[in-house]
């Protein structure tokens, strides 16, 4: 089963602070801990999933790698390959201390929280995070190997400059919604029942803008075209993503902006094929080079040619390894290797002299004209 996004597992926004992450994990751990749910395999799996998510998001370095490159960015870190089968550890760091302890959690279950003001009147809607955006780019194979910078142009919501994002002209502010009188709900009678629904005028906030801004029509947000330089690190592959924090849509009512996710697609190369951080290419050689051995010049992804020694008697399909000529590894100066697959080329046409030489060679080698079949190699 595919892994779920860590932020989704904990139920927090991508802009969540460490205290929010701890609080979310604490709540999930209490609800799903095996001591509280003996024999419940599903609760145990939820507990392990939440613990793995917390382990990554509570660590600044791991979280940064995950935000930029997803699960692929955790390879080699504790997150990607860590064993979470035994996670029943000391939770004093998570459950101890004031502010968000057991009292806070259980208090929210029994009326401690809520989103209503005294007298039952709906409160004005608070800050809301802006939407994150996705932008897809295509880069050359070589740029994925060594990294590059790309300029992207996209459209996103920003806070209206005229009203500072408030939505009201001249800072007039808000007033009690005249439709619901601040309750955020409207009621209608249906027989013996009274049905309540969200107020269509204020959308449940209980307040409306007194004098809407003429620029954004009271929305507080405006759309803007923007160009931004994106640094693509060396070693990215198809599906890799680069995250630009706060470059998505602006949040409403002073909420944080979303992020811009730039997804990378890499063009295929004419000669090279990539596997992880290694490169593969096929190199044709002649019968004489395969038989006698030779030094040949082979191009690399760097744009340079290097000398490679072909051993005598080499067979077609033999792989030769050239160290350090592959793909640059993410967040490192190290590189993978380049592998050359040798393809022995049989001449399709020969003059009479060449045929005579080949016949003499066959006679000298005592070639068998009734060969015995050999098994396929694994």
Least confident window among 58-72, 142-156, 332-346 = 58-72
pLDDT above 70 (res 92): no
Same-domain check for residues 2 and 81: yes
- Separation between Cα atoms, residue 47 and residue 28, nearest integer Å: 7
Confidence band of 80 (pLDDT split at 50, 70, 90): very low
- Separation between Cα atoms, residue 136 and residue 141, nearest integer Å: 16
Confidence band of 276 (pLDDT split at 50, 70, 90): very high
Same-domain check for residues 290 and 181: no
Same-domain check for residues 21 and 100: yes
Least confident window among 185-199, 252-266, 300-314 = 185-199
| 204-209-215-220 Cα dihedral, nearest 10 degrees | -50
Least confident window among 167-176, 207-216, 290-299, 347-356 = 167-176
261 within some domain:
no
Confidence band of 376 (pLDDT split at 50, 70, 90): confident
Domain end (from 209, 230, 260): 209
Which pairs from 315-320 meet CB under 8 Å and 24+ separation? 315/290, 315/344, 316/290, 316/342, 316/343, 316/344, 317/341, 317/342, 317/343, 318/342
SS3 of the chain: helix, strand, coil, percent, to 5: 25, 30, 45
320 within some domain:
yes
30 within some domain:
yes
Looking at residue 307, what is its pLDDT? 95
Least confident window among 115-129, 167-181, 203-217, 221-235 = 115-129
Q: Which residues contact 129 (CB under 8 A, 6 or more apart)?
A: 13, 15, 251, 255, 256, 257, 258
Same-domain check for residues 183 and 102: no
Return the percentage of the chain with pLDDT > 70, whole number.
Answer: 83
pLDDT above 60 (res 50): yes
104 within some domain:
yes
- Separation between Cα atoms, residue 375 and residue 274, nearest integer Å: 30
Instruction: Assign residue 69 the CATH number of its domain.
Output: 1.10.287.110
Same-domain check for residues 3 and 106: yes
192 within some domain:
yes
Same-domain check for residues 180 and 279: no
Q: Contact at 8 Å (CB) between 328 and 145? A: yes
Q: Which residues contact 289 (CB under 8 A, 6 or more apart)?
A: 296, 310
Domain end (from 192, 209, 226): 209
Per-residue pLDDT tens for 202-253? 878 788 887 888 888 878 888 999 999 999 999 999 999 999 999 999 988 7
Same-domain check for residues 29 and 110: yes
Q: Which of 125-134, 174-183, 310-319, 359-368 has the highest mean pLDDT?
A: 310-319
Supply the pTM of this predicted model: 0.57
Strand segments (E) across the chain: 133-139, 148-159, 174-176, 185-190, 193-198, 207-209, 221-232, 241-244, 260-266, 273-275, 278-286, 294-299, 305-310, 319-322, 338-345
Top pLDDT among 268 and 203 is at: 268
Give me the helix-helix angle, 41-57 and 60-69, nearest 10°. Answer: 100
Instruction: Assign residue 203 the CATH number of its domain.
Output: 2.10.230.10
Q: Contact at 8 Å (CB) between 261 and 135? A: yes
Looking at residue 215, what is its pLDDT? 84
153 within some domain:
no
Instruction: Give the 3-state secondary structure of residue 329.
Output: coil
Same-domain check for residues 277 and 356: yes
Instruction: Assign residue 296 the CATH number of its domain.
Output: 2.60.260.20
Number of domains within the chain = 3
Confidence band of 2 (pLDDT split at 50, 70, 90): low
Same-domain check for residues 285 and 201: no
Domain end (from 114, 142, 159): 114
Same-domain check for residues 197 and 108: no
| 56-89-49-113 Cα dihedral, nearest 10 degrees | -90
Top pLDDT among 20 and 168 is at: 20
63 within some domain:
yes
Q: Tell how strand 133-139 and strand 260-266 pair up.
A: parallel
Same-domain check for residues 201 and 299: no
Domain region containing 199? 174-209
1 within some domain:
yes
Confidence band of 192 (pLDDT split at 50, 70, 90): very low
């Amino acid at each position: 089963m595919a892994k779920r996004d860590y932020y989704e597992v904990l139920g927090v926004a991508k802009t969540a602070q460490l205290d929010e992450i701890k609080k979310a994990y604490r709540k999930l751990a209490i609800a799903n801990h095996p001591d509280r749910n003996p024999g419940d395999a599903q609760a145990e799996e939820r507990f392990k999933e939440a613990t793995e998510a917390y382990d990554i998001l509570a660590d600044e370095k791991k979280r940064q790698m995950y935000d930029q490159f997803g699960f692929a960015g955790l390879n080699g870190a504790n997150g990607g390959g860590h064993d979470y089968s035994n996670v029943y550890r000391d939770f004093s760091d998570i459950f101890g201390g004031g502010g968000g302890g057991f009292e806070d959690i259980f208090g929210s279950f029994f009326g401690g929280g809520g989103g209503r003001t005294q007298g039952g009147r709906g409160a004005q809607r608070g800050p809301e995070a802006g939407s994150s955006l996705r932008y897809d780019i295509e880069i050359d194979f070589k740029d994925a190997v060594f990294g590059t910078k790309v300029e992207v142009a996209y459209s996103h919501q920003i806070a209206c400059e005229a009203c500072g994002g408030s939505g009201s002209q001249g800072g007039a502010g808000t007033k009690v919604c005249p439709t619901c009188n601040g309750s955020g709900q409207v009621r209608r009678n249906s027989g013996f029942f009274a049905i309540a629904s969200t107020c269509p005028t204020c959308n449940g906030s209980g307040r409306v803008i007194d004098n809407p801004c003429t620029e954004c029509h009271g929305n507080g947000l405006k759309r803007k075209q923007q160009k931004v330089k994106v640094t693509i690190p060396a070693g990215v592959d198809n599906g890799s993503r680069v995250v630009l924090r706060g470059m998505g849509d602006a949040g409403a009512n002073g909420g944080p902006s979303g992020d811009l996710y730039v997804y990378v697609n890499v063009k295929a190369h004419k000669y090279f094929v990539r596997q992880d951080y290694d490169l593969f290419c096929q190199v044709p050689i002649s019968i004489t080079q395969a038989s006698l051995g030779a030094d040949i010049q082979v191009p690399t992804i760097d744009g340079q040619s290097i000398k490679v020694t072909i051993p005598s008697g080499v067979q077609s399909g033999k792989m030769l390894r050239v160290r350090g000529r592959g793909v640059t590894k993410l967040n490192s100066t190290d590189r993978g290797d380049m592998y050359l697959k040798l393809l022995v080329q049989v001449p399709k046409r020969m003059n009479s002299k060449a045929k005579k030489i080949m016949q003499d060679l066959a006679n000298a080698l005592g070639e068998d004209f009734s060969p015995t079949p050999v098994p396929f190699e694994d």
